[in-house]
Amino acid sequence: MMERKYRHDATITKVDHLDEDNVFLTLNAPELSELSKPGQFVELETSQFLNRPFGVAICDKKAGTVGIGVRKVGKGTKEIFEYKAGDKATLFGPFGYGFSISEKTSRAYVIGGGTGIYPLLFLLQELKRAGIKTYTGCGFQSLTHALMIDDFSHISDDYLTACEIGEADVSGTAVDALAELYERHGQSDGTIVYACGPIPMLKAVNAWCEENGIDAECSFEARMGCGFGVCRGCAIPVIRDGQPTYDRCCVEGPVFRRGVVDWEGL
Ligand SMILES: Cc1cc2nc3c(=O)[nH]c(=O)nc-3n(C[C@H](O)[C@H](O)[C@H](O)COP(=O)(O)OP(=O)(O)OC[C@H]3O[C@@H](n4cnc5c(N)ncnc54)[C@H](O)[C@@H]3O)c2cc1C
Ligand code: FES
């Protein structure tokens, strides 16, 4: 049996500065591209201690490339922000369990906030390929913080931007966008909500889904240490066999079915 390769020596082929805090990198990494599934993440090596996790945002298996969107936060991401086309980068992965796309899925509401919007692009790409209708809502602090609106509009059957400040399609949060999209498109058998973003957003998505009786898969960006299951620094509370316990975001996640998560314990 061929051994699975986790380390990938990649070349950065394209660098798009989306705004002063966000950059989108395209990397040539054919094996990584071949193995990646939507919702999985990669670890990028920097000069800092511990690698930095990022959701796979774009995957072009034909071209052998993957894309990641990176927000400048601390030392590691500041370093990544300086990368240029032609630079070499070391990536590890793909890691974790991603989103599931079932044959029964007929329509999908795709909801993102913060850096959680990036991995949803890859998910939307695969949902489209599977012929599933997609209704997408992304929440930003204000319109000046809004990112990749054209990409999301282009790939979704309907798309709304939600902002709490300023004029947007929806005045409010990503969950208000979800409610508006649901009002427009409703549900049928096989409706699911996919969400990725900060914990308060995921909690609100869960509450909305509970109210409306819709299943969901939520992707968590838990603070990570080792990134491969050893330190347990990324644990989130879950209920398994009726008992409260913890799952590791980097191994059992980062995507969890909403019924598994112990929302009260978060
Ligand atoms: C599964 C997953 C997917 C992610 N996808 C994206 C993405 O697509 N785009 C994006 O911009 N960011 C994403 N993040 C968050 C990103 O990993 C952090 O912003 C980044 O690690 C911060 O590194 P830093 O050195 O700049 O910050 P520092 O605060 O200096 O980091 C210190 C340490 O804390 C860890 N850390 C800090 N913030 C986070 C965080 N939010 N999540 C996990 N570890 C953190 C770092 O990895 C590092 O080990 C994701 C996180 C996870 C867990
Ligand atoms: S980050 Fe170490 S166990 Fe998940």
Structural domains in the chain plus CATH codes: 7-94 (2.40.30.10), 107-265 (3.40.50.80)
Q: Is 165 helix (H, G, I), strand (E, B) or coil?
A: strand
**Rounded distance from Cα 71 to ligand 2 centre (Å):** 21
Predicted confidence (pLDDT) per residue in 236-262, tens digit: 999 999 999 999 999 999 999 999 999
pLDDT at 2: 55
Q: Are 168 and 145 in contact (CB under 8 A)?
A: no
* Ligand positioned closest to the Cα atom of 41: 1
Are β-strands 133-142 and 107-113 bridged in parallel, bridged antiparallel, or unpaired? parallel
* Ligand positioned closest to the Cα atom of 71: 1
Predicted confidence (pLDDT) per residue in 217-235, tens digit: 999 999 999 999 999 999 9
- Looking at the CA of residue 234, tell me the nearest atom of ligand 2: 4
Q: How far apart are CA 111 and CA 115, in angstroms?
A: 12
Percent of the chain beyond pLDDT 90? 94
Predicted confidence (pLDDT) per residue in 188-210, tens digit: 889 999 999 999 999 999 999 99
**Rounded distance from Cα 99 to ligand 2 centre (Å):** 19
165 pLDDT band (50/70/90 cuts)? confident
pLDDT at 4: 75
**Rounded distance from Cα 53 to ligand 1 centre (Å):** 6
- Looking at the CA of residue 232, tell me the nearest atom of ligand 2: 3
**Rounded distance from Cα 251 to ligand 2 centre (Å):** 8
Q: Which helix (H) or strand (E) holds 109?
A: strand 107-113
* Token digits of residue 115: 């850096």
Q: How far apart are CA 70 and CA 91, in angstroms?
A: 14
Question: Which pTM value belongs to this model?
Answer: 0.96
Computed over every residue of the chain, the mean pLDDT equals: 95
**Rounded distance from Cα 43 to ligand 1 centre (Å):** 10
Residue whose CA is at the smallest distance from ligand 1 atom 46: 52
pLDDT at 154: 98
Q: Which helix (H) or strand (E) holds 159?
A: strand 158-165
Q: Are 262 and 202 in contact (CB under 8 A)?
A: no
Model confidence at 55: pLDDT above 60: yes
Percent of the chain beyond pLDDT 70? 99
Model confidence at 138: pLDDT above 90: yes
Q: Are 192 and 214 in contact (CB under 8 A)?
A: yes
Instruction: Please give the backbone phi and psi of residue 62, each rounded to the nearest 5 degrees, phi first.
Output: -65, -45
Is 229 near ligand 2, meaning CB less than 6 Å away? yes
**Rounded distance from Cα 71 to ligand 1 centre (Å):** 9
* Ligand positioned closest to the Cα atom of 73: 1
What number is the average pLDDT over the span 158-164? 96
User: What is each CA distance from 87 to 50, 59, 84, in whole angstroms?
Assistant: 20, 19, 6
* Burial label, 203 (beta-carbon count in 10 A; 0-12, 13-18, 19+): middle
Is 234 near ligand 2, meaning CB less than 6 Å away? yes
**Rounded distance from Cα 225 to ligand 2 centre (Å):** 5
pLDDT at 166: 76
* Ligand 1 pocket at CB < 6 A: 41, 48, 50, 52-55, 57, 68-71, 73-77, 115, 118-119, 221-224, 254
